[in-house]
Amino acid sequence: MGYPASNIEGVYRNHIDDVVKFLESKHRDHYFIYNLCSERSYDCSKFHNRVRTFPFDDHNPPKIELIRPFCDDVHTWLTKDPRNVAAVHCKAGKGRTGTMICCYLLHSGQFVTAEEALNFYGQTRTQDRKGVTIPSQLRYVNYYASFLRDGLDYVPVSLYIREIIFEPTPCFPGGQGYLCFSISQQTIANAGEHSQKCVKLFKSGVYEVRKGSSSFVIRLDQCMPITGDVKLEFYNKPKLGRKEKIFQFWFNTFFVRNELSIQDTTTEPNGHLPENGNGVTRNVHSKALVLSLMKNELDIVNKKDKQNKVFSSEFKVTVLMHKVPTKNPGPPSWLVTPTFHQETRQDTPSESSEADTSEDEYNDEDDWDSVLEGEDVDPRGIGYRLLSECDLASQLAHTSADQQQQELLTA
């Protein structure tokens, strides 16, 4: 259902008094309300405090660890008494609500596949059969289906993003675009609670994108660990004009499993390729984990670029990642650790000095419930210092294991 609102908002949404009257008349003593809104709440005493909150942000998927507790709670309530009902709501009662209801339909065994659950919800909730439409929310329903189907136990996985590839190159107005992006990660806001927050870990410089090439590659010389639920947001930031979000997507690192063998051309701090002990350049091969998403699997872009003017219908984003080393004596030369003494690395000199003054605005509740940018910026993610292999070797030679870890965290 939609949000039980009051005052003027109650005129065009479900008025909270009407919701109370309905539930009390139809399901007295046998209803429980599940509020998925992170942005607001209401007087729960109107419902005799039979309200539980599993909050996550509008037009985003839930944190992966939030889904099973929600499903367990709903299942416990519904199986306690055959007369019990669960009323699940977000703001418009479609995207976030549908995501969690579809996960519960899978959890309770009513459907086996994500597609079946999503189709049922779309047919039942809407006239046009468009229930859950945001690609990242669809992705997380499929994630939960995989958990149940394969009997998986979730263990957070830490990865490094090394490259981001656009194929084919976007065709921005005027034939030239100024691309920048950010990396954010979901965290638990308060220990022991279901609340969560989105922490921005990294903001890139601006990359000049010109039409004519078959692909556009962003190589991250400095890498940082990402774990769990991660969001990549991409913007066009022209020298004159507002910064515009062109697309975003969420994924969970646990589900990045496709491997690709690639040649590692990472350079040493002196700019040369690494050499072996005989002074011969090493031909280094490594296994990269690959996440590839087609245009229809990206958020926002399909609504803003329906005519495929900027992004081809065959547009694809590929993210190459590596697992965080666990058994090496020290991190590889491309690892970065936080520092408080320098600004975020700028990848190209073309970044505009204009402040970020705009975020994407999407107010169509048929597709997006609303836009809520409640992101915190991680103070440790403002700058990074690249540690060379020599630096690491020196540290390893003169410090104990505990001291090494402390220095890497505070360097």
Asked whether the predicted pLDDT for residue 88 surpasses 80, the reply is yes
Instruction: Place 94 in a pLDDT band, splitting at 50, 70 and 90.
Output: very high
> For 226-245, how does the pLDDT look when each residue is reduced to its tens digit (9 = 90+)?
999 999 999 999 888 889 99
Residues 15 and 91 in one domain: yes
Which pLDDT does position 145 carry in this prediction? 98
Residues 80 and 131 in one domain: yes
Residues 177 and 309 in one domain: yes
Kindly state whether residue 335 falls inside one of the protein's structural domains: no
- Residues 243 and 263: their CA atoms lie apart, in Å, by 35
Residues 93 and 114 in one domain: yes
| Total-model pTM | 0.77
Please check whether residue 95 is in contact with residue 137, taking contact to mean a CB–CB distance below 8 angstroms.
Answer: yes
Instruction: Place 8 in a pLDDT band, splitting at 50, 70 and 90.
Output: low
Choosing from 37, 71, 90, 171, the catalytic residue is 90
Kindly state whether residue 277 falls inside one of the protein's structural domains: no
Nearest to 95, CA basis, from 138, 47, 63: 138
Kindly state whether residue 308 falls inside one of the protein's structural domains: yes
Residues 164 and 69 in one domain: no
Kindly state whether residue 230 falls inside one of the protein's structural domains: yes
Instruction: Place 192 in a pLDDT band, splitting at 50, 70 and 90.
Output: low
| Domain limit, last residue, from 134, 153, 172 | 153
Please check whether residue 56 is in contact with residue 189, taking contact to mean a CB–CB distance below 8 angstroms.
Answer: no
- Residues 251 and 256: their CA atoms lie apart, in Å, by 8
Asked whether the predicted pLDDT for residue 265 surpasses 60, the reply is no
Our count of domains for the chain comes to 2
Residues 162 and 87 in one domain: no
Between the alpha carbon of residue 289 and those of residues 109, 146, 223, 321, the distances in Å are 32, 19, 15, 5
CATH of the domain at 294: 2.60.40.1110
Rg (CA), the chain: 24
Domain that holds residue 59: 4-153
Q: CB-side exposure of 280: number of CA atoms within 13 Å?
A: 3
198 is annotated as an active-site residue: no
- Residues 319 and 291: their CA atoms lie apart, in Å, by 5
Give kind and range of the element (H or E) at residue 115: helix 114-125
CATH of the domain at 87: 3.90.190.10
> Per mean pLDDT, which range of 97-101, 113-117, 125-129, 252-256 is the poorest?
125-129
